Every structure is written in structure tokens, then in C-alpha cells.
Amino acid sequence: MTNLGIGLIGYAFMGAAHSQAWRNAPRFFDLPLHPDLNVLCGRNEEAVQAAAGKLGWSTTETDWRALLQREDVQLVDVCTPGDSHAEIAIAALEAGKHVLCEKPLANTVAEAEAMAAAAAKAAAGGIRSMVGFTYRRVPAIALARKLVAEGKLGTVRHVRAQYLQDWIADPEAPLSWRLDKEKAGSGALGDIGAHIVDLTQFITGDRIAEVSGRLETFVKERPKAEAHSGLSGTASAERGPVTVDDAAVFIANFRSGALGVFEATRFATGRKNAIRIEINGSLGSLAFDFEDLNLLHYYDATEDAETAGFRRILATEPTHPYVAAWWPPGHLLGYEHGFTHQVVDLVTAIAEGKDPEPSFADGLQVQRVLAAVEDSSASRQWQEIPE
């Protein structure tokens, strides 16, 4: 079997999640190429070496440009904050490396356009790229898409989506890079709203045509972070401004005529990672909540009214997407499995010479929706998303 040398940039929360995926994918799935965890890259030498030992990487680099020069790297996995996605991903594609880039694709539409153009050019030479909208690979979500595509819901009328977290509901929670517009591009909108834009479009096979939205920053100033790890941190005595939205809400028209209602917030006390999606169609409905991610709720409106009702589909059957490679029915899957499935789909597409999805062009379209929500909030007007 041919090997695929991986170079991962970033080793915090997402870097750790991607590392386990690169390690585990070939242990459970029969992959056409074997990923070698060759290089982990981060700016602090001591810290990146410690992370490499823990996460299973053979060597380290402290400069991503040096990583791009290495012959033992065929794929670059970008797990840095959004402000460096465009520069790294474009340089990697130009250096002839396949690229997996974390979401949202970029911090601005202009950056995302440049990335999509670089990806299209590289694809002509067989170099592949993918944006990491991982939740598409949760089996219950992939099953939802399949059921909609099979026509089980009939004509889709309503799309209802929420992404609810509460990790900064405490006004004394320190400033993380995710609250800094320069680093993150936007707040709840881009960080978690991007996921529900992608997921609803993925499940319905439809696209958002126009939006009317509102962004809000409830807590305008917070303690600066002394030390930061993942979503938590230690507060310092100094304070700084929050430069992104804490919450984003918007309504949307889909191209098919379906109506959408979206909400993304980090202030939903008690909700930790609740991605809730409900789709209502002429023949039935589907409902999903990531806090119970193995379940898909399905209502068949064609059944006898006397016994009809939502039923729970436990998406752990070997016939459900991705599940056959794992455990027997009822032995539940978790957050990390989506990342493993992402690696499986990416490596398979590379080996088959196909463009993986979601592509950088898909990432650009999501970026346009996010920008339209921001513009709509600022202008108090509906905003159209170009095709």
C-alpha cells in the first residue's frame, strides 16, 4: 500500500481531534492509502515536541513554511485560527500538497475566494482540498441526508437549526482568540453558525438564497487570558474588548422556496454543544440533536394518524453510513468519530483521483452566507447570496 505523509499545523483542541482521526482511520477502515503522522508543526519548540509525543507524530517543525518544503509531507492539515488559513492553504496547494483546512474556510469572503481559486487550479493537477465541516460525517446526519435525497420527506418546507453553547456565558470568562475578530473573523456566527449553514444545506441538498439577520455582543469587555487551553483559560487582571458577536440569529429563504430559521449562540446556559436541526417536509420530518448524536428522529406523515408519531432511529446499524467499520448495533459513537470519517472520505477521494466534499468552493459559499448575515445585521436589510 502507498503511504500518504501528513503534516499537521496546530495542536490545540482541533489538532488533537485531527491527530486521533489520522491515527485511528486506518485501524478501523480499509484505506487505499496509509496516513503516516510524519510532522506536527507549532511555533513553540518545547510545546510542539511535547504535543507530538503525546499525539503520536514522528517529527516536528516550528515554521509551517519548512513543513511545506518537506518531501515526506503530501497532505497539509491546517488546524490554526482562521487568520492564517488562506496564507497557509494557498502556499500548500502551490507547493503541490493536498490540503485539509479547518472551518470556517477563512475570515473573509475575499480570502475564501482566493482559496477556492487556488484549489480549482491545484485540482487540475490532481491536488485535492477539503474544508473540515466534520459534523457531516456523524452517521445520523449522513443518514438524514440520504433520507431527504430518497424523497422520504417530500418537499422540504421548513429548516430549523440551532447551534447552542454556553462556554462564555460567564461575563468573567477570559478573552480567547475565538473572541478576537482579527484572529477568528467573527464570533458565534463563523465558529458555530458556519456548521449549521453547512449542515442544513448538506442535508437538504439545497442552498440559502437570502438572509435577514442580527448579531449581538452581550459582554463587550472581558479579562485577558493569561494561559489558554482549548475553550477554557486563566483570567489576568487586565481587561480587553470583545470584537466579535456572542450570538447570531437569522432567517433565510432557500433556493427551493423552503424557509429557514437559524440561531448560533455561546450564551445558551446549560447547552454545551447542542446542534439541533429539524426539517419538515410534505411527507414527513427529521430531527437531530448533537447532544444525543446517535439518534435521528423521523416522522412519516403518510402513516395512519392513529399510530403515527416521531420514532427514534438509533443510527448504529451496520447499514447506516460509516457504522459497519465500528461496533455492533447499540454500541454508541461519539464526537471524535466524525473526524475519523472525514479522514476516510478525504483519503479515499485522493486515492480515487476525485475532488472531496465539502470543497473549498463549498466553504466559500458558506462564507458568503456568513458575510450576508453580518451585512444584514449592519444594514437592517435582507441580503442576497450570489449563486
- Look-up of cell digits 483546512: 101
Contacts of 363 (CB under 8 A, 6+ apart): 101, 103, 104, 105, 106, 112, 115, 116, 131, 133
Q: Residue from 191, 245, 263, 289 that binds ligand SOE (CB under 6 A)?
A: 191
Exactly one of 19, 162, 165, 186 binds ligand SOE (CB under 6 A); that residue is 165
Shortest reach from residue 134's CB to ligand SOE, in Å: 7
User: In angstroms, rounded to a whole number, what is the distance separating the alpha carbons of residues 366 and 356?
Assistant: 16
Interaction of residue 192 with ligand SOE, rule CB under 6 A: yes
Please identify, using beta-carbon distances, which residue of 167 and 382 lies nearer to ligand SOE: 167
Any bridge partners for residue 3, and if so which? 34
Count of chain residues binding ligand SOE (CB under 6 A): 6
- Residue among 342 and 383 whose Cβ is closer to ligand SOE: 342
Which CB, 13 or 327, lies closer to ligand SOE?
13
CB nearer to ligand SOE: pick between 165 and 342: 165
Q: Which is nearer to ligand SOE, 166 or 300 (CB)?
A: 166
- Taking the complex as a whole, how short is the minimal distance between the CB of residue 10 and ligand SOE, in angstroms? 12
- Smallest distance from ligand SOE to CB 74, Å: 26
Rounded to the nearest whole angstrom, what is the least distance from the CB of residue 277 to ligand SOE in the complex? 14
Q: How far is the CB of 171 from ligand SOE (least distance, A)?
A: 17
The answer to the question of residue 198 lying near ligand SOE (CB under 6 A) is no
- Phi and psi at residue 30, to the nearest 5°: -85, 95
CB of 61 to ligand SOE, least distance (A): 24
Give the residue with the Cβ less far from ligand SOE, 148 or 264: 264
In the complex, which residue's CB is closest to ligand SOE? 191
Q: Per CB under 6 A, does 78 bind ligand SOE?
A: no
Subset of residues 118 to 147 that bind ligand SOE, contact rule: CB under 6 A? none
Binding track, positions 10-39, relative to ligand SOE; x by CB under 6 A: ---x--------------------------
CB of residue 65 to ligand SOE, shortest distance in Å = 25
Binding to ligand SOE by residue 107, rule CB under 6 A? no
CA distance 325 to 8: 25
User: Closest CB to ligand SOE among 184 and 350?
Assistant: 184
User: Which residues, including other chains, have CB under 8 Å from residue 75's CB and lie 6 or more apart?
Assistant: 4, 5, 6, 7, 35, 97, 98, 99, 100, 350
Taking each helix axis from N to C terminus, what angle separates 360-379 and 194-204, rounded to the nearest 10 degrees? 120
Please say which residue, 122 or 343, places its beta carbon nearer to ligand SOE: 343
Q: Which is nearer to ligand SOE, 60 or 265 (CB)?
A: 265
Whichever of 281 and 358 has its CB closer to ligand SOE, that residue is 358
Q: Residue 355 class from Cβ within 10 Å (0-12 exposed, 13-18 middle, 19+ buried)?
A: middle
Binding positions for ligand SOE, 223-242, rule CB under 6 A: 231
Asked if residues 309 and 284 have their Cβ atoms less than 8 Å apart, the reply is no
Instruction: Give contact residues for ligand SOE (rule: CB under 6 A).
Output: 13, 165, 191-192, 231, 273
